[in-house]
Amino acid sequence: MSERLDSIEVFVAVVEAGNFAAAAEKLKRTRSAVGKSVARLEARLDTRLFHRTTRSHRLTEPGQSYYERCRRALDELAAAGEELDAGRQEPLGRVRLTMPVIIGRPLIAPLLFALGERHPQLSFDVGYSDRRVDLIEEGIDLAVRSGVLDDSTTLAARPLGRQVMAVYASPAYLAEHPRPATFDALVAQRESHRFVGYARRGWRQPWRFASADNADIDLPFEIESRFFCDSLDVVMDAAVAGWGLARLPMWMAARDVDAGRLVRVFEEPQPFGYELNAVWPRMRTLPMKVRVVIDLLAQRLPALMAAGSAS
């Protein structure tokens, strides 16, 4: 029975992936193993499910009907498992997560360690990436994402707070350059300053601020720098070393500010912040193992970002 169910799952994966090679990659199997699994299913059913040529394959009419029934059956099995999971008193299983390294390593990882201590049957696979991972395609349970979310009918989200930004520089740098008191002063003094910027794959992140009426505005010029980096903590290190002005999350710069290594250059009447969200594949019943992680992040992350410390 388990082999039959496995063959059905492989068959459905082939249909939804579009070909045997893509299904094999998704299932972490060889293309040959996927092909043999479908062949065994066809032999057991005594029915050809695919029209095959050297270049393509498509469902036969019986194959289409069988796929639709299998898809409904697998959905019902998944729903039954979700309902059973919802009744558990203790979270159980492995949670696959993806998140930006800049917030994942110092803030979220310690929370997961503590959660795992409280729930010994809970485990985690964590990937650090700024890439917008396809959660459904890559089998990810939960993502933490910064910035505006795309509209989606397949994903659900919950706010986790904001990463409020500010402009920082080292005391040594400010001793040698005019200190702008406002956003407008920064624009006017652009020729008098050096900048340290965040860039990834050739894209340079603009410096975004909030106007008096709380609308988003960017610096009216693209910053030029001798030092761009795709890691914000290294951008901060460059600012500490006196390489120029840097736009950083306040929670991240707090420790260097307290130690006197960085100075907040000017106050912003309307602070700008990037929204942080937990994002997961939409489903009828959220598994308890995922729900406890989301609840913890929603409870603890806003305060951690406000305090600038994971302790």
Which pLDDT value is given to residue 309? Answer: 38
86, 118, 137 — which closes off a domain? Answer: 86
- Asked whether 229 and 285 are in contact (CB, 8 A), the reply is no
Which pLDDT value is given to residue 279? Answer: 95
Specify which residues 145 forms β-bridges with: 277
Do 260 and 188 share a structural domain?
yes
Planar angle of CA 121, 124, 126, nearest 5 degrees: 175
Check which CATH number belongs to the domain holding 24 and give it.
1.10.10.10
Residue of 78, 51, 48, 248 lying closest to 165 (CA atoms) = 248
Tens digits of residue pLDDT in 19-60: 888 888 888 888 899 989 999 999 999 999 998 776 678 899
Do 243 and 174 share a structural domain?
yes
Question: What band does 86 get if pLDDT is binned at 50, 70 and 90?
Answer: low
Do 106 and 247 share a structural domain?
no
Do 54 and 115 share a structural domain?
no
Q: Which two tokens stand for residue 274?
A: 């990037």
Which pLDDT value is given to residue 176? Answer: 95
Tens digits of residue pLDDT in 106-151: 999 999 999 999 999 999 999 998 788 888 878 899 999 988 887 7
- Cα dist from 209 to 166, 205, 277, whole Å: 9, 12, 20
Q: Averaged over 197-210, what is the pLDDT?
A: 85
Tens digits of residue pLDDT in 252-297: 999 999 999 999 999 998 999 999 999 998 887 788 999 999 999 9
Do 240 and 175 share a structural domain?
yes
86, 113, 135 — which closes off a domain? Answer: 86
Q: Could you give phi then psi for residue 63, rounded to 5 degrees?
A: -65, -40
Do 62 and 23 share a structural domain?
yes
30, 51, 86 — which closes off a domain? Answer: 86
Do 253 and 213 share a structural domain?
yes
Which pLDDT value is given to residue 116? Answer: 95
Which pLDDT value is given to residue 193? Answer: 94
pLDDT-wise least confident of 7-11, 25-29, 85-89, 262-266: 85-89
- The count of domains in the chain is 3
Do 281 and 149 share a structural domain?
yes
- DSSP characters over the chain: -HHHHHHHHHHHHHHHHSSHHHHHHHHTS-HHHHHHHHHHHHHHHTS--EEE-SS-EEE-HHHHHHHHHHHHHHHHHHHHHHHHHHT-SS--EEEEEEE-HHHIIIIIHHHHHHHHHH-TTEEEEEEE-SS---TTTTT-SEEEEESPPPP-SSEEEEEEEEEEEEEEE-HHHHHHS----SHHHHHHTGGG--EEEEEETTEEPP-EEE-TTS-EEE-SS----SEEES-HHHHHHHHHTTS-EEEEEHHHHHHHHHTTS-EE----SS--EEEEEEEEE--SS--HHHHHHHHHHHHHHHHHHHHT---
Mean pLDDT of the chain: 88
Where in the sequence is the domain holding 134, given as residue range(s)? Answer: 93-161+274-307
Which pLDDT value is given to residue 81? Answer: 72
Do 170 and 253 share a structural domain?
yes
Do 99 and 21 share a structural domain?
no
Question: What band does 227 get if pLDDT is binned at 50, 70 and 90?
Answer: confident
Which pLDDT value is given to residue 311? Answer: 33
Question: What band does 219 get if pLDDT is binned at 50, 70 and 90?
Answer: confident
Check which CATH number belongs to the domain holding 218 and give it.
3.40.190.290
Question: What band does 310 get if pLDDT is binned at 50, 70 and 90?
Answer: very low
Which pLDDT value is given to residue 83? Answer: 62
Do 170 and 27 share a structural domain?
no
End-to-end CA distance of the chain: 50
Do 205 and 67 share a structural domain?
no
Check which CATH number belongs to the domain holding 289 and give it.
3.40.190.10
